[in-house]
Structure 1
């Protein structure tokens, strides 16, 4: 069976038709979604204009509040510095008192040593006086020279021992004087530290009063602006959620349309491939048909040549058989004539006058009168050569084309492993107190919680949750006195709203070290600690790390 030929433009027409159908089907839904999105975007633009207007008003008020905010910053920074200085003074006072106590113990011991040295010197002088020996007495005594030498040697030994005792007494007296001087210096230092501590405490009270005044002045404005900004922000979030849903629907519709277009393109490509396959099959079938015709023509030519050769061979065989038959007949005739001749000869011998040479088949053939039997040849008969009719062989069936495609395997991806060991789970909280705000939950004043607030009274020590190094310790707008600790492996812990910062940048801390004291800085109304944990710069949920 011959396959129909497929034109080259069939695949392109099929693809264009499929794409046209897909576009027409998706047009209505896309237009409706686009209209809803435009309306939502218009409403969002109007709302954002209101937000910008409010922000301008806030900026105007912010310019007026800047001086107060700067004053608040200076006051809270001063409070932090004063508390740190008071802590340092307290530590210095403790060290000075410890040193003074040690010096007093040394002075007591030195007095005892000095008294011992004095007693030893007194005993030596008393013994020498009681013995009555002296260098002049020994020389003028007139004793034996050997005894005199022994007495002088003893006196020399006693003299050197007395000199050493006197030197030791003087040394102990000097050491005692040095200890007394050091003790007096420590007492003076303690008095100075005590006086400075009093001044610093007085300044701290003044700064706290000033901060309370600034906070009270800003509290009303901040609360009102937060309420309005929070309301507008929630409205914007709701509208953004609506727009996000619309964009999701549009994206889903676009994906479906793209899928339909891809399916139409795939079908068009399959149709084009099928047309090309059919055209290829038709071409191969035509080539096979022509090859079969050529093969049959060649076989017919060969068969005709074979038949011609057979006819020629048959004719040769017939000629050969006819010649053999004629030869056999001639030989038979010759034998018969010979017999007749022999009979005639026999008769001639008996009666020569009765013999006729012509009737016996004998004729003279030479001039000497000799006779010889001459054989008369006969024409051989010809037979028609048989013919054959060649049969045509059936044409070979065309080969099958195309191979089944093997499905491809999709490799499944393994989720990457992550995490670090800079911090461990189950950390002790920096302070104990009620938890306000949860990580990832919206804040009343806008935004979301990136950490937690632990409510505690002012002055409560803030402890380090793990060993590390202080990388930031200063005042920051919105966070007040803030301290940040690097724990390695890209883990940071953040402590804000502090009353005082007790560590400096570069200080190494261990678990449980006091970093700061709880406060309400940064414009806060209630005291507490704001705490964050960050990994590679991104905030993570502190509740997953702290043993709350």
Structure 2
């Protein structure tokens, strides 16, 4: 087993701690990036709705121009009808005058008929005698002459009266025919004018109905734009708050890391100095022991050499063998220990390449990228047609970054599954997790909500990779 010095262990632990803190700090930038991407999507939706609103307002302007033209035609028709009514009133006055004349002519004709009847009655009373017979029977011839002149004048007046009566009758008939023709012409003209006015009024009513429908659609689009802008403002506030928290967290972590690094360096320097001093003392002690051992061995070797010389001198003649010189003993070399470099922590594995289980057991109602029924941006995730209260489980391990309400998404839970992969569970009844909580695959996230922002029951699941929405079906099995 390899020996590690205390300073090496301390530096390794410090690096691991700093790596963990930096990994935790990386969550906030990811949340900020995700929120900004969502904010850009909302702004794009607002721009699209505003373009549609401008088209509808243009159509409304054209429709109002057509309505104005119809109003002008209706006014002209009404003026024509008023003129016709004036002519009709004038004609009626003329007809009334004619009727008065007809009544007068009828009275004259009645008088003429009465006079003619008197004349005929007088002639009838005279009988069938001729004027000559009457003259011969009369005793006064002068009276007979006057009577003859009277009869001639009476006959002429009778003829004139008969002729005048015939003229009056013809004039009465002609006046009555003229009266009927004028009345028929005015009635026909008034009928045509009224029909034209009714047609124009119908067209105007239809245009007014279309304008009302267009106004309602424009009002609905304006309300939708206002709602999206309100959602964008809320999301913008969330982004600003997360940015501020991230800046504060980074500053605090930098200051804490700087303090910990300074303290670690100080403790490492002190322990390294202590270790070096201890090593130096141990080396000095080893060198002193080696010198003492060498001196002792040298003395022993000198004594042995002296005894050997004396033995050689005593037994020189007896023993002719040479004694080999003693082998010197060297002191062992002790290597100084050096602190090893701290090991680098392994990089975290990327999650999202495998198959994840479904969060709920329910059919998929809306697919990724399909348009919404009520307009606005397309679906950036998928929705499950699950009943309210159905438990929602995590599809992969991760840490909770956000849990709470968000306008336009209801109650949501944002889980960071990897460095650049986020899972967003929306339209929940109530989250069952807290920020910072670690989740495992299958952990309870919450339950399915009812109605709300989706106008229906179900679960909304969105997955973001590198800050962009991706099809969750690529991650689910």
Structure-1-length-normalised TM-score? 0.30
Structure-2-length-normalised TM-score? 0.34
Greater C-alpha Rg: 1
